[in-house]
Structure 1
Amino acid sequence: MQSVGLAMKNIIIGMLLGVIMGGAGGFALGIFAFPYLFPPPPLNETVAHLDTGERLARGRFIHANPSDPVHYGRGGVSVYPALVHLEADFEVGPGPKYHVYLVPGDVTGDTAVEQTMFVDLGRLRAFSGSQNYPIPAGVDLADFQSLVIWCEQFGVLISPARLEVP
């Protein structure tokens, strides 16, 4: 009789642990899958109405690691004295907590971006479409040769763009 009570107690504990573990796993999977299932709509911001000044640099986003089908980027970027403009053809693979960084040097898949003196321009607002990001006052654009999309949550380079003076 005592072993039946102990077996019943173990079954209940096992069921509770299963519910807790399943709930935690489902929550974690939901956080990962959310940007894929419910991406923000594409943006269509322009620079025509802004007093941006002359374009200082241009670049194109590239697929940093072609063997990784999830983390990719493409499209153009223009840099003005106080503004970074991701152009209408901009697109990256969806994911959580993407940020736009100005980074010194030429960024490749092997660059330790998180250990450089980058400038965080803010969180990426959409996975595609034209977007504007103000450059903080006092930032010397001559110190930065790349713009990257970086996943802060997982510390992963999504896509770099080498900035070139036209």
Structure 2
Amino acid sequence: MRRLAILTATHLLALGLGFGLGVYLLPILVAPDDPAQAQVDAAMDAAPYHATFKRDLKGSDPLHWGEGTVSVSPTQVAFDGKLAPGPDYKVYLVKEYVETIADFERVKADAVRVGEVKSFNRFLVDVPAGVDVQDYTTVLVWCERFSKFISAAQYRTPG
């Protein structure tokens, strides 16, 4: 009986570990190539707004973080740096700076989802037609599937 309990426990532990590693590694394995550095640099050079994703934000943790430079123009959001890999990342524009899950969930109804992130070193996301980036102050990366805050940066002050 004890042997059965040990075997059950070890197999459940291995199953849980395998699932966790799959959730973490699958986005890395299926990620498309990052956009070309020159293309990201050109978008960043043309953007009027620049900010920094910092790894040590209150809502970030060892598995959910971003660090690097993000630029916002009327037509694109460009990022050069590193994001912790994960599934279902979305880029949002938010009207006020937030840095936790609770803060974002409080303002999410007024945020605009700009697009998806599939690569974790650089990305370019087109701003949808009709979205005025001057109506917002902060760019935020959010894991939609697991409701996890990844990173945020305030690209302009309100007003």
TM-score, normalised via structure 1 length: 0.69
User: Which has the larger share of helix?
Assistant: 2
Contact 1:58 1:79 in 2 (8 A): yes
C-alpha distance in structure 2 between counterparts of 1:60 and 1:123, whole Å: 19
Show the 5 A alignment for 1:4-153.
28-29=19-20, 31-35=22-26, 38=29, 40=31, 42-45=33-36, 46=39, 54-63=46-55, 64-65=57-58, 68-87=61-80, 90-109=81-100, 111-116=102-107, 117-129=110-122, 131-153=123-145
Are the counterparts in 1 of residues 115 and 127 from structure 2 also a CA contact under 8 Å? Answer: no
Q: Which residue does 2:147 correspond to in 1?
A: 155
Q: Would the aligned equivalents of 1:53 and 1:81 in 2 still touch at CA under 8 Å?
A: no
Provide closer, same or farther for how the CA distance between residues 127 and 39 of structure 1 changes in structure 2, counting only shifts above 3 A: farther
% identical equivalent positions: 29
94-103 vs 108-117, greater mean Cα deviation = 108-117
Between structure 1 and structure 2, the one with the greater Rg is 1
Closer, same or farther in 2 for the Cα pair 1:58/1:67, shift >3 Å? closer
Counterpart CA distance in 1 for 2:45 and 2:130 is 16
User: How many equivalent pairs are there?
Assistant: 144
Runs (5+) with no aligned partner, structure 1: 1-20
Give the conservation status (yes or no) of the 8 Å contact 2:101–2:149. Answer: no
Question: The residue matched to 1:35 in structure 2 has which SS?
Answer: helix
SS in 1 for 2:115: strand
Q: CA deviation at 1:29?
A: 3.9
Tell me: CA distance 1:128–1:39, structure 2 relative to 1, closer, same or farther (3 Å).
farther
Q: State the AA in 2 paired with 1:70.
A: L
Q: CA RMSD in A?
A: 3.5
